[in-house]
A = this chain, B = another copy of it.
Amino acid sequence: MKDVQNEKDERNIAIDKVGVRGIRYPITVLDRMDKEQHTIADINMYVDLPHHFRGTHMSRFIEILNEHRKNIHIDRLAAILKQMRETFDAGSAHIEMKFPYFISKPAPVSKAEGMMDYECTFEAVSGKDGDDAILGIKVPVMTLCPCSKEISREGAHNQRGMVSLQIRYSQMVWIEELIDIVEACASSPIYSLLKRPDEKHVTEHSYANPKFVEDVVREVAVAMNAHPKITWYRVEAENFESIHNHNAYAALEKKKG
């Protein structure tokens, strides 16, 4: 059969990224408590395409993924990227993964355990100028409005918020550690299971710790600045305001050193 993809292309235009998107795949990730956990990822894989080739053999991305089946640890992504570059004879290879990560978390007073899920992302690139990797987590938190507390006789509006943190790092950092850092920067962590003494605690603790989205991103920034393994970060906080139908938002990004 004729190989249309291998035809010579005369348009003289190189393509930055060619590949497959939206592949759902079961993966295994390292877990600080249980050594590993099974989860499910949405995966995108790309390579660059030199100007002289017409197309890419998309099935090869799936073949590479299948070879590593049942063994897709984040610490093997470098091997997958290397294989992508070799298979496609490519200058650069990209892989992006998004997956839920589960942690059993004790309630603050009763210590009753509940399962929390955190959306994680991992984006890795291997190119001519070296490799790069960004780890991301989304941590749902509780925020209580300092202004509402200050101006009101009683109570204060509060809400679920989402803090998104992305990092580059010089040494491996546990997802669990990042979650702990982010949760400490909000008015309160949130939980899956809260008995009444826990609910009392969370209510009073958040009331004692009012935070704007601006406060949340600044406190995460202070922690990231102090963290020896983190070389770059981007933090965003978004409040699903209980008093509005739109969200409050703050973001900042910093390359350290």
Contacts and interface: CB of A to CB of B under 8 A. Distances in A.
Q: Chain A: interface secondary structure?
A: mixed
Interface stretch (A125-133, A141-149, A174-182): A141-149
Interface of A: 1-2, 4-5, 9, 11, 13-26, 37-40, 44, 46, 49, 54-56, 58-59, 62-63, 66, 69, 100, 102, 112-117, 140, 142, 144-160, 188, 190-197, 199-200, 202-204, 206-207, 212-215, 217-219, 221-222, 238, 240-253
Contacts of A5: 147, 212
Given A206-B155, A218-B9, A213 B243 contact: no
Q: How many copies does the complex hold?
A: 4
A147 B54 CA distance: 11
Nearest to A28: B38
A49 B157 contact: no
A157 B140 contact: no
B1 A26 contact: no
A197 to B, nearest CB: 8
25 contacts: A4-B147, A4-B150, A17-B251, A18-B213, A20-B247, A22-B245, A23-B246, A25-B117, A26-B102, A55-B146, A55-B147, A62-B114, A62-B192, A63-B193, A66-B113, A116-B245, A148-B203, A155-B203, A155-B204, A157-B158, A157-B202, A157-B206, A190-B242, A190-B245, A192-B245
